[in-house]
Amino acid sequence: MKRKKEYKFDNQDLKKLGFYDKDLLKAAGKTATLLLKEEKYSRDMLELHLAAILENPQKYQDLPDWAKLAQNVLLRKENNHFVAQTEKVFALKENYSPYSVFGEADIDQAARNQMDIAMRLPISVAGALMPDAHSGYGLPIGGVLATEIDKIIPFAVGVDIACRMCLSVFELPAEYIQKNENKLKNLLLQNTRFGTGNGFEKPLEDSLFEKDTWNSTKVIKNLMPKAIKQIGSSGTGNHFVEWGILQIVTPNNPWQLEPNRYLALLSHSGSRGFGANIAEYYSKLAMQLTKLPEHAKHLAWLDLNTEAGQEYWIAMNLAGEYASANHHHIHRRMATSLELKPLFMVENHHNFAWRETLSNGKEVMVHRKGATPASVGELGIIPASMTDKGYLVKGKGNENAIHSASHGAGRRMSRSKAFQQITKEQLSTVLQEQKVMLIGGDLDEAPMAYKNIEQVMAAQQDLVEIIGSFQPKIVRMADKETPKWRLKKGNKNDDLFSES
């Protein structure tokens, strides 16, 4: 059977060429569809001409096929409604603006270099580097960047959009873990799903999917089936769900609990394949629309005054709600299995962007890539590794840190180096010494691959107050699988997969 010819130009294809003004997008689609149907041009030639019109519409205003569209482009430019974003390269500032660095002695130079470049962006307003910082793509993990209020950088948000921590604390003594180890292990196996593409056999119901937002853009709508399939599940890498012991260390806590040890459940994961695909699509789009020097290209931004920027903003916020829903499913299922309601829950995002106001009254867009929000009194969780204590904290609202803190201990060893330098025997020894049961996991998540959490916490005493500590005891992570970066021979950019 002969395949029917496709005569329609997709709006997403036109946007990639630079057509973002609503009226212009419609005019370009109409012109391109007509010319394609009349078979005057191939699709490839049409794309070349469409891109050229944006750059130089004067050359096309006397050509019958293109005159109307060219006049439309010229008119929009003259009225400042539309600016072609094809060849202009934004220059970086000569020198980077100063920024605060916490725990400087333990931050690698590659992360410092990336932050220096970020602070040279023409849209950058303020920045800070957290003590768990290490290099990633664009903004380093542990980087906080405040930009102009209407500019957002997808790679400064991160690959796993809205990656999240969630803690449930139960009115059971710490000794419950030791006496019910097999039961708690089985609850983890029954109520969690991990790994690339994985979800529950029968998708869990959630009212989140009733929101009209899922129909707001084609990209979101196309990803909805994936999101439904993976609701309530967790990813790979450093994502986990674990039972442990929460030690409340101060009576000055929001729940007025006496210092004591409690059974607690801690989870770390994000927006799964939905968020990852959103990040990939709009990061590439930003780099097409906002041209920067090669060494800064991953810091390309989207303008919230454009359709592309609004689409990403909607998608990012939906990913935040979706990530939260994933955690709530896990914690609700666990609590139901225990036949107990938690005393309290604490949760916080990282890998996100917020509209905030600095102390000088300036409104900015704050990107926290692997950094915990820490405004005055704001609660958060800062984990360490599968064997080391993490911390329940309360923010101090430090302006120099842009109201932020670390999101964990931070990697001191890339994933590829961890596989090269850490043995199974070493990992097994550490787990036995710390009396931690590990289900799944791999060498790239071994405790030795991470910085010393005590040093990290010492470096941010001015950023957060410690309310309690969390000691992991039964840890569930993804089963071993070969990550994408290991499939590509010679790929050295493995830290992209540490960005959650």
pLDDT in tens, 73-84: 888 766 655 544
Helix (H) or strand (E) holding 419: helix 415-421
Residue 137 backbone class (left: φ over 0; alpha: ψ -120 to 50; beta: rest)? beta
Assess contact for 462 and 398: CB atoms under 8 A: yes
pLDDT in tens, 339-351: 999 999 999 999 9
Distances (CA, A) of 394 to 252, 263, 269, 457: 11, 20, 21, 13
> Is pLDDT larger for residue 197 or for residue 152?
152
- Residue 493 — very low, low, confident or very high, per pLDDT cuts 50/70/90? very low
How far is 306 from 304, CA to CA, in rounded Å? 5
How many beta carbons lie within 10 A of that of residue 297, not counting itself? 15
Mean pLDDT of 19-46: 82
Average pLDDT, the chain: 90
Query: Does pLDDT of 35 surpass 60?
Result: yes
Helix (H) or strand (E) holding 124: strand 124-134
Q: Is the pTM of this model over 0.95?
A: no
Among the ranges given (17-31, 242-256, 417-431, 463-477), the one the predictor scored with the smallest mean pLDDT:
17-31
Q: How far is CA 87 from CA 18, 51, 66, 226, 287, in A?
A: 11, 10, 21, 36, 12
The span from the CA of 450 to the CA of 456, in Å, is: 11
Which residue would you say has higher pLDDT here, 11 or 352?
Answer: 352
Structure tokens at 90: 């934004």
Give mean pLDDT, residues 471-479.
Answer: 97
pLDDT in tens, 129-154: 999 999 988 899 999 999 999 999 99
pLDDT score, position 383: 98
How many helices (DSSP H) and strands (DSSP E) are in the chain?
Answer: 15, 17
- What angle, rounded to 10 degrees, do the helices at 307-338 and 218-230 form? 10
Residue 488: pLDDT over 70 = no
Give the CATH superfamily of 159-270+314-348+372-484: tRNA-splicing ligase RtcB (3.90.1860.10)
Q: What is the pLDDT of residue 4?
A: 42
Mean pLDDT of 401-409: 98
User: What pLDDT is stored for residue 33 in this prediction?
Assistant: 86
DSSP class of residue 411 equals B
- Please report, rounded to a whole number, the percentage of residues in the chain having pLDDT higher than 70: 92
Q: Are residues 380 and 348 in contact, defined by beta-carbon separation less than 8 angstroms?
A: yes
Q: Which sequence spans correspond to the domains of the chain?
A: 11-78, 159-270+314-348+372-484
User: d(Cα 439, Cα 476) in Å, to the nearest integer?
Assistant: 5
